[in-house]
């Protein structure tokens, strides 16, 4: 009987996971806002650390290579946030 209780406890959600729909929606909204903030901060930090203005290169000069680098930075930040949520 003791091993069945341990198995049942292992199957129940624990930690920050919420069993209710409202709580899950709130967690989703919080993680979405944090993810967007991290993506923006990552982009700005990369732009600050590199020479030139990445935003100006993308918008004014229509530099596709700069846009791809900016997209890679944002996607990389989002992968890190997704891994943190899943882990």
Q: What pLDDT score was predicted for residue 40? A: 94
Per the structure, the count of domains in the chain is 1
Q: Tokens for 64, please give them.
A: 């596709």
Give average pLDDT by consecutive 10-residue segment, the chain, 87 residues.
Answer: 56 67 90 92 94 93 95 93 84
Residue 64 lies in a domain: yes
Residue 21 lies inside a defined structural domain of this protein = no
As a three-state string, the secondary structure of 12-42 is: CCCCCCCCCHHHHHHHHHHHHHHHHHHHHHH
Task: Give 67's contacts (C-beta < 8 A, 6+ positions apart).
Answer: 58
* Residue 27 included in any domain: no
Is residue 5 a part of any domain in this protein?
no
pTM of the model: 0.71
The tokens for 31 are 């993680």
Residues spanned by the domain of 44: 39-87
pLDDT at residue 17, rounded to an integer = 73
Helix/strand number for the chain, H first, E second: 4, 0
Does residue 9 form part of some domain?
Answer: no
Q: Is 6 a domain residue? A: no
Q: For residue 74, what are its two tokens?
A: 């944002």
In a domain, 34, yes or no: no
């Amino acid at each position: 009987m003791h091993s069945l209780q341990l198995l049942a406890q292992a199957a129940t959600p624990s930690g920050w996971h919420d069993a209710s729909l409202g709580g899950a929606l709130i967690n989703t909204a919080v993680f979405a806002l944090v993810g967007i903030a991290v993506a923006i901060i990552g982009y700005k930090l990369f732009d600050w650390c590199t020479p030139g203005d990445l935003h100006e290169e993308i918008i004014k000069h229509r530099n596709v290579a700069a846009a791809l680098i900016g997209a890679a930075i944002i996607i990389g930040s989002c992968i890190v946030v997704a891994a943190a949520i899943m882990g």
